Amino acid sequence: MIAVLSGGTGTPKLLWGMKEVFSKFFVVVNTAEDIWVSGNRISPDIDSVIYALSDIIDTEKWWGMRDDTFITHNMLKDLGFDERMMVGDRDRAVHIIRSEFLRGGDSLLTATKKLKSMFGIKQDVFPMCNEDVSTFVATDRGKMHFQEFWVVNRGEPEVMGIDFRGIDKARMPDEVEKSLKKSKIVLIGPSNPVTSIGPILAVKGYKEILRDKKVVAISPIIGRSPVSGPAGKFMASLGFEVSPRGVADIYGDILDVLVVDERDEDYEIDSVEILKANTLMRDKDSAIKLSEFILDHV
């Protein structure tokens, strides 16, 4: 059994290919970017994983559902209500169901299980924890929620620090612990190492379990920049080189194998095996090819 740690863009792209290639895997997803918007709980990374595994993700933007409409969002705006994130109508239906489950007393794990089953997904999809964790970014314009930084301020403010609020009280759910302990290999997908994988590894217990596993990461940094998103800015602000080497430095001693892009320079990193592959997933075919590479080499 393979465990996959996921954020919201690069790893869902990989999962889109993995589901065609691997017979069994489960996914543990970052929830530190979750936020309540217009009365509903958005779990952006869980949504992207569910939509990628059910082949309905918008493969232009890599968030939300393909062919979604924005009638409710536009109506809210017309009425003068400032919904700060663009939320599609179909996407919102999922947020409403999740929120109703939570209001009815379900944990986030139970709500996620029910949701992924509604989409007919075979693989387990787990939140990293049930407790609320929120990523706050300290910037030259003040401290703000990750979504405020990235969506409202378009990632422009200078970054001084990052804080996962609530992480001390976060616990690895029992079911995740059981599944992780049973898995031989843990794949860290090509997601933001600071704000997507960082929170998962910061929840008590994950690093300890991962130390006994073969941990394989796919670098989200190709050359000297991320394929998308603020990973480069965050890595630099924390003093890490924006490169696959910087990714390896962040993962530290839990990392055994790093898959870098075939266009990258040759890296030698102490106690880390380096593999080269085409890690740029432009379409489903390239996501499948990368998944096959992982299956063959890992």
For ligand GDP, the closer CB: 101 or 218:
218
Which residues contact residue 172 at a Cβ distance below 8 angstroms, ignoring those fewer than 6 apart?
Answer: 128, 129, 180, 203, 204, 205, 206
Binding segment toward ligand GDP, per CB under 6 A, in 2-10, 108-116, 156-164, 250-258 = 2-10
Binding segment toward ligand GDP, per CB under 6 A, in 101-109, 186-194, 204-212, 267-275 = 186-194
3-class DSSP assignment, residue 93: helix
Binding segment toward ligand GDP, per CB under 6 A, in 21-29, 66-74, 203-211, 228-236 = 228-236
> How many helices and strands (H and E) does the chain possess?
12, 14
For residues 144 and 74, is the Cβ–Cβ distance under 8 A? no
246 scored as a contact of ligand GDP (CB under 6 A): no
40 scored as a contact of ligand GDP (CB under 6 A): no
As a whole number of angstroms, the distance between CA 240 and CA 247 comes to: 8
Phi, psi values for residue 260, rounded to 5°:
-110, 170
228 scored as a contact of ligand GDP (CB under 6 A): yes
For ligand GDP, the closer CB: 101 or 245:
245
Write the CA distances from 15 to 71, 89, 214, 215, 285, integer angstroms.
Answer: 30, 24, 19, 17, 12
As a whole number of angstroms, the distance between CA 113 and CA 123 comes to: 10
x/- letters, 13..32, toward ligand GDP (CB under 6 A): x-------------------
233 scored as a contact of ligand GDP (CB under 6 A): no
For ligand GDP, the closer CB: 9 or 139:
9
**What is the binding site for ligand GDP (CB under 6 A)?**
7-10, 13, 190-192, 195-196, 218-220, 222, 226-231, 279-281
